[in-house]
Chains A and B, each alone.
Chain A
Amino acid sequence: MTRKISITFLLLIFLQPLLVLLYLSFSTQWHYPSLFAHPFTTQHWQTLLSESSALIKSIGISIMISTLVSFVATGMGFFISRGIAYYTKSRWWLTSAYFPYVIAPVVLAVMLNFYFLKMGLTGTFAGILLAQLLITIPYSVIFFHSFWSSTILEREYLVATLGGNFMTSLRHAILPSAKGLLVVCYFQCYLISWFEYGLTQYIGVGKVETLTILVYRYISEANPYLAALAGLLLLIPPLVLLFVNRSFFIQNVWKS
């Protein structure tokens, strides 16, 4: 009984901000000292569903960027970390992967801005992709580095002596053990990309409007109702991804 009450209490604490956002998204005015907003309207949601909605476009852009970034970062980080673990002796390679986080992504953007301008990538979709990869690939490298243990290497060697090539090794010796971690890393990179603001704003110069950028814009325009709606939308894809992969998070990952 106590456990049920505790869980309900915790759920309420977690859901309370979301409920406030949901409530605000149906409002246009809420002035002190009124307890409830007035009028209660579906106006923002109707605008959202209209074809020319900026929100719909930004959702599309955000999903595309995050999907591509997380896919490429997970794949590249996986193989780069293998190279670092097996073929380098210096710790410098791994240490350098911490660089974007030590100096903060937005400072990195300031440092790289010159090169992005020279390459004509500032304010473009490709520029945002590249900028976000510069922080997610190092993250993925750090994430996978400890995966490449002596057991994985021995299994790769074993496959080689049994007559297999690298693809056989990947299929039978590496991926079955890495499956859970790959899903988790993809999810984490997706979140990093999805909620990334500073770097995206700086390199995108407001031309590429991701959902996160839009939320901040609404907030800075003092439009809490649209910001609430955009904030809610911002939470949907990560929650869907979490729900789809719940078996990995709840079973496989914790068990291993």
Chain B
Amino acid sequence: MIEVRQIKKAFNDEEVLRDVSFKLRENETLSVLGASGSGKSTLLKIIAGLLDGYSGTILVNGKAIDDVKPKNRGTVYIYQQPLLFPHLNVEQNIAFGLTIRDRENSFIQEETGRMIAELQLQGQEHKYPHQLSGGQQQRVSFGRAFIIRPEMLLLDEPFASLDPSTRRDMQILFKEIAQKEGITSLFVTHDLKEALITGDRFGMMSAGKLRVFDDKESFIKDSESGVQEEIQFWKEIQNH
């Protein structure tokens, strides 16, 4: 269980996060929707331990992790860009987290092979990042994060730079693997459809405030979520 309590953060005099609180159960994905500049990325960075100078607290299984260094927090941050290591091939990129933990070679090979199969990257093992498509690169980036079984995955608009078709495939693949691997994640996006596909629960971030909906139903019905507007739009298109 991950709990974020009353996080406040300001840059100079500008308040970016205002009393942000939420709970995230194990194996659950909270999709947070919000416009650019609403404070989504700041929230992720604070949870990952990459930003300090905030008030409030973050608890993992009841234990505060505010003073824990990023490398020991058990959270992995996934960016919009895959940020693969250019000097490592697919296999080595995926195995990265296990390699730096000095795990046994046989274990690394077994886990990497399993992850490559799950991500449908067979045959690409020895290719370098520049030889892969955007979608394949993002899959490798996911594999690199999944393989260390983080307490929490923090996803910062990870599919924003992909084409619509690859994006959809990746959303479905993410959902499948997250469920299979039992990954807890906070998925930040500004795409309504993406939030609905990937999330188990939903949040709306606006001007530094987070509103969390407990189920899909209440999120869809809420006038501020934008779902009703979207439905109306497609209805009008259909009627004309």
Contacts and interface: CB of A to CB of B under 8 A. Distances in A.
Interface of A: 151, 154-155, 157-158, 160-165, 168, 172-173, 176-177
A177 B130 CA distance: 13
B86 A176 contact: yes
B87 A161 contact: no
Interface in B2-42: none
Dominant SS at the A interface? helix
A157 B85 contact: no
A155 B83 CA distance: 6
Contacts of B86: 176-177
B97 A163 contact: yes
Interface in B25-83: 45, 48-50, 69-73, 75-77, 79, 81, 83
B202 interface: no
B87 A163 contact: no
Contact of A161 (B73, B81, B85, B88): B73
Contacts of B100: 162-164, 168
A206 to B, nearest CB: 48
A165 B49 CA distance: 14
Of the listed residues B72, B77, B83, the one surrounded by the most CB atoms of chain A closer than 10 A to its CB is B83
B83 A154 contact: yes
B96 A161 contact: no
Contacts of B45: 157
A167 to B, nearest CB: 10
Nearest to A162: B97
A162 B85 contact: no
A155 B77 CA distance: 10
A176 B71 CA distance: 21
B70 A172 contact: no
B162 interface: no
Interface of B: 45, 48-50, 69-73, 75-77, 79, 81, 83, 85-88, 96-97, 100-101, 144-145, 148, 154
B195 to A, nearest CB: 23
Given A164-B100, A172-B85, A158 B79 contact: yes
Contacts of B81: 151, 154
30 contacts: A151-B83, A154-B79, A154-B81, A155-B85, A157-B77, A158-B76, A158-B79, A158-B83, A160-B49, A160-B50, A160-B69, A160-B71, A161-B49, A161-B50, A161-B73, A161-B75, A161-B154, A162-B96, A162-B97, A162-B144, A162-B148, A163-B71, A163-B97, A163-B100, A163-B101, A164-B71, A164-B100, A168-B100, A176-B85, A177-B86
Nearest to A89: B12
Nearest to A157: B50
Given A154-B81, A160-B50, A164-B71, 4 more contacts: A160-B70, A161-B48, A162-B97, A165-B71
A162 B149 CA distance: 10
Given A157-B70, A168-B100, A172-B96, A162 B83 contact: no
